Structures are given as C-alpha cells and as structure tokens.
Amino acid sequence: MIPSTLPDLPPAFADSARNLEVAAPGAEFVSLEAILQREPMADGFAGLLGKWGPGDHRAAVSLWTQGYFGRFFRPVLAYGLIHDIWFSPRLADVSVALSEIKIPARFALKRVQSASVEQHLWSIVHEHAQPVIENIVSLTGTSERLHWSNASFAFYRSYQQIRTLWSEAEIPAAVATQRRQVERLMASDHPLFQLSRQIPGAQDEQGLVRKVCCIRFKLDGLKKCGAACPVGHLACSAHRKADIHARP
C-alpha cells in the first residue's frame, strides 16, 4: 500500500491528509467494491436519512455521492497537483473505512508512477467516478446526471481551493504546468467538467454554481444549499420544482 509517510499539505487541506491512510490499512478498512453492493449502500443511505431526514430517499442517495466525491477528490487532487504524487483510482485498488453512519470516511490507496496530468485525470474520471456512478444508478434508479453533478462540483471545489493557494507570481513552476493541463481538460465536453460553472469575476470556490440541483432540500435537516444552487443562486427549499434533469 501507500508508503508510511507523505509530504505535508497546506493547512487548507489538513482534512485531506486525515482522510488518506498512508500505512497498511487496518481491520476497519474494506474494499470499495464490497461497499458498492446493495446492502452496504442501503446501510449508508439509511444512515444519512437518520442523520438528516426524514425525507426523500433520492436526496439521501445524492448526499452519499456529494460526500463521497468530496472526500475522494480532495486528497487525490491535492497530493497530485501539489506534490505530483498520484494514487490508483481503480475500484479494485481502493479501500475505505466507514463512518458511524456507514458511509466512506477515509481511504487507503495505492501509489502509482507519475504520468501526465491528462492520464491521471482520465483514470480518475473513467476508472473511478464513472463506475461508482453507474453502480449507484443501477442500485437506486436515481439520475446519472445528478451524480455527475455531485462529482463535478466536488472536483471543481477541490481544484479551486488548490488554485488559490498561491498568487500567480508565487506559484511553483511545476504546479503551474500541471494546472494548465487540468484547465485544458476542464474545457472538454464531459459531465465532470461541464456540470459546474464559475461565476464571472469570482476567484475561489465560493463562486461555483451547479448546473443541476442536488435536491438536498428534500431532506428535512438540509433545507439550503446556499449560493451554489443552480436556481437563482437561492436556497433550494424555495425552488421545490427545480428540474434536476435540465440541460445546461
């Protein structure tokens, strides 16, 4: 598995270091493939409904992928883009430790050799995000587009936080090169890169807006999604007819 030590991340990404197991995983870790089965997934959805519900089961499914992709993308992108340390995103190479409500909270990953950013991101998109989403859609009948939107927003938010760590004058040359490669990919026509947008003039992740409603307002404990809401940038609870399938 991962070597026992990794370089430090900036303080803004301290949570990412905590979410990544850097030694041989303990007994609390199980394979991701084992978690992406009907019964373990149902336990996670029930845990989210118990914490944030009652409410629409589809909203709990959406909340699962929101949290999952947020916790996965942050350490993978932070170590990759800041230190050029990359991990295999293949489902067979990923182990997870579950939280008290039975959702993935920490990851144990395998190091891979450095390659181009395009290659690493292709693997993250097609060997991780896509099969995770396809599995959840198959189990729950929820919208594939909804979960791609959650993945997109988590990716953009993590990337924008990395992007604002340095000014243009201070950014290390290697990081700047990798950032340019990421932004070329972000211009492509793929749901990971096309279901979130940056408000013109905004410089950080607070300026991000979804193109598809996350429907979190359908859980009684989560009425609002704030400025990221795609409908008028207002609380989703004020827009219960938001079309989660609307084309961008």
- What local confidence, expressed as pLDDT, does residue 179 receive? 86
According to the model, what pLDDT value does residue 28 have? 87
Residue 107 phi, psi (nearest 5): -125, 145
The pLDDT value recorded for residue 163 is: 86
Cβ atoms of residues 228 and 236 within 8 Å = no
C-alpha neighbours within 13 Å on the C-beta side of residue 124: 29
How far is the C-alpha of 131 from the C-alpha of 69, rounded, in Å?
13
- Per-residue pLDDT tens digits of the chain, which is 248 residues long: 444 578 888 898 888 888 887 656 677 899 999 999 999 999 999 999 999 989 999 999 999 999 999 999 999 999 999 999 999 999 999 999 999 999 999 999 999 998 999 999 999 999 999 999 999 999 999 999 999 999 999 999 999 889 888 888 888 888 888 888 898 888 888 888 888 877 655 555 567 788 888 888 888 988 666 777 776 544 444 344 444 443 33
Q: 3-class DSSP state for residue 88?
A: coil
Fold of 11-184: Transferase(Phosphotransferase); domain 1 (1.10.510)
Which pLDDT score is estimated for 206? Answer: 61
Q: Where are the domains of the chain?
A: 11-184
Provide the whole-model pTM: 0.87
Q: What is the dihedral of CA 145, 214, 94, 97, to 10 degrees?
A: -160
CA dihedral sign of residues 236, 238, 241, 247: negative
* Predicted pLDDT of residue 2: 43
Instruction: Yes or no: say if 212 and 228 are a contact pair by the CB < 8 Å rule.
Output: no
Give CB contacts under 8 A, 24+ apart, made by 89-93.
89/123, 89/124, 89/127, 89/128, 90/123, 90/127, 90/128, 91/32, 91/33, 91/36, 91/127, 91/128, 91/131, 91/132, 92/31, 92/33
Q: Cβ atoms within 10 A of the Cβ of 43, count?
A: 15
Burial of 225 (0-12, 13-18, 19+ CB in 10 A): buried
Q: Do residues 17 and 9 lie in contact, with contact meaning Cβ atoms separated by under 8 Å? A: yes
CA separation for the pair 18, 9 (Å, rounded): 11
Backbone angles phi, psi at 12, to 5 degrees: -65, -20
Question: What's the confidence (pLDDT) of residue 237?
Answer: 42
Q: Maximum distance among all alpha carbons in the chain? A: 51
Position 199 scores a pLDDT of 63
* Chain centre distance of CA 4: 25
